[in-house]
Amino acid sequence: MDKKLSIIILTYNEEKHLARCLESVKQIADEVIVVDSFSTDRTKEIAEKYGAKFIEHEFTNQAEQFNWTLENVPIVGEWILRLDADEYLTPELANEIHETLRKYENKYESTKKEDVIQNTNITGYYVKRKVIFMGRWIKHGGYYPIWILRLFKKGKARSESREMDEYIILKEGIAGYLKNDFVDENVNDLYWWTDKHNKFSSREIEAILKTETETYREVDGDPLGTPTERKRWWKESVYMGMPLFLRAWGYFLYRYIFRLGFLDGKEGLIFHFLQGFWYRFLVDAKLYEYRRGYKK
């Protein structure tokens, strides 16, 4: 393939993860673009070691940073893969992406009209995310597989303009599905994890309040729609409709008991409790604080 795939990675102080991420894509990427929020560690050094294009831009949120990159940075690839620095491709997925784009290109030479129509309609691909926490695969609790649209044709997709829980959405065409996983494995400690999610909870309050007043929706919930639409429907129509505070308890029990999260061992207990209960309860507490006027 000649200049077919560009990788976009957003970073801030990612020296622990970036080399692993870049190593996983080096055989298939025609271009890697690292958009950094003025890191103070070795992120730039590592990116340049791997030949990545390193760009610094002030960070507001993930959605704005990614959309800014799409709109302002020259991208050579006809296809774009979005990754976080603490994520990496399995060898199986890297090979599948390579073969999928090769077949996409070659189908244009097919004499079968239906082959050309089928491939030109696909402008993006959903990929399965595999989360590893404290060295353990979080396989249960409804946390695998999680389908996320990450690979798309240039000019055919963008990120929702949201503070949190933003999804990449196709502007035209339809999405296909890849069989293999990419891995989300952050190696920072729990102090870092809880601090990050504390900040996430404040951003989620902004997103919730904005959602309650906005008239235009980029992605509507649909229980029978795409994975993105189904997740949006579940959260906004089911979870957010439950009573404040009680929903965090219900969500944790649903994940840990009914979706067999207890099978993920001690690491799974920590993950499902912190991510499925503590974080959700913290969001509710901050929402309660705001609505009662305790926080000006």
Are 137 and 251 found together in one domain? no
For the chain, give the mean pLDDT.
92
Q: Which residues constitute the domain of residue 80?
A: 5-185
The residues that bridge with 175 in the sheet, in sequence order, are 124
Residue 172 belongs to some domain of the structure: yes
* Interatomic CA distance for residues 81 and 83, integer angstroms: 7
Are 46 and 145 found together in one domain? yes
Are 30 and 177 found together in one domain? yes
Are 24 and 165 found together in one domain? yes
- Decide if pLDDT at 119 tops 80: no
Binning pLDDT at 50, 70 and 90, where does residue 1 land? very low
* Interatomic CA distance for residues 138 and 143, integer angstroms: 7
- Decide if pLDDT at 46 tops 70: yes
Binning pLDDT at 50, 70 and 90, where does residue 236 land? confident
**Mean pLDDT of the 176-198 span:** 97
Residue 214 belongs to some domain of the structure: yes
Query: Among all chains, which residue has been given the structure tokens 């990612």?
Result: 14
**Mean pLDDT of the 134-152 span:** 97
Checking phi first, is residue 132 left (phi over 0); if not, alpha (psi -120 to 50) or beta?
Answer: beta
**Mean pLDDT of the 104-116 span:** 56
Token digits of residue 131:
């989360």
- Decide if pLDDT at 295 tops 70: no
Token digits of residue 130:
């595999």
pLDDT value of position 9: 98
User: How many domains does the chain fold into?
Assistant: 2
Residue 38 belongs to domain with CATH number: 3.90.550.10
**Mean pLDDT of the 126-130 span:** 98
Residue 139 belongs to some domain of the structure: yes
**Mean pLDDT of the 193-209 span:** 94
Are 164 and 70 found together in one domain? yes
* Interatomic CA distance for residues 32 and 197, integer angstroms: 28
Residue 157 belongs to some domain of the structure: yes
Structural domain ending residue among the three candidates 185, 203, 236: 185
CA 71 to chain centre: 19
Residue 33 belongs to some domain of the structure: yes
Number of CB atoms found within 10 A of residue 278's CB: 18
Are 221 and 202 found together in one domain? yes
Are 20 and 51 found together in one domain? yes
Alpha helices in the chain (DSSP H): 18-25, 43-49, 62-72, 91-107, 113-121, 190-213, 227-233, 246-253, 265-273, 279-291
**Mean pLDDT of the 241-254 span:** 96
Strands 168-170 and 157-159: antiparallel
- Decide if pLDDT at 3 tops 70: no
Q: Find the radius of gyration of the CA atoms of the chain.
A: 20
Binning pLDDT at 50, 70 and 90, where does residue 264 land? very high
- Decide if pLDDT at 215 tops 60: no
pLDDT value of position 212: 73
**Mean pLDDT of the 269-274 span:** 98
Are 21 and 125 found together in one domain? yes
Helix then strand then coil, in percent of the chain rounded to 5, is 45, 20, 30
Residue 296 belongs to some domain of the structure: no
Are 176 and 195 found together in one domain? no
Range name among 14-28, 101-115, 116-130, 276-290 with the lowest pLDDT average: 101-115
pLDDT value of position 116: 44
Binning pLDDT at 50, 70 and 90, where does residue 111 land? very low
pLDDT value of position 108: 55
pTM here is: 0.91
Are 104 and 17 found together in one domain? yes
Helices 91-107 & 113-121 angle (0-180, nearest 10)? 130
Note the residue count of the chain.
296
Please tell me whether the peptide bond between 227 and the residue prior to it is cis, using omega within 30 degrees of 0.
no
- Decide if pLDDT at 120 tops 80: no
**Mean pLDDT of the 9-36 span:** 98
pLDDT value of position 107: 62
* Interatomic CA distance for residues 78 and 157, integer angstroms: 12
CA angle 126, 132, 135 (to 5 degrees): 160
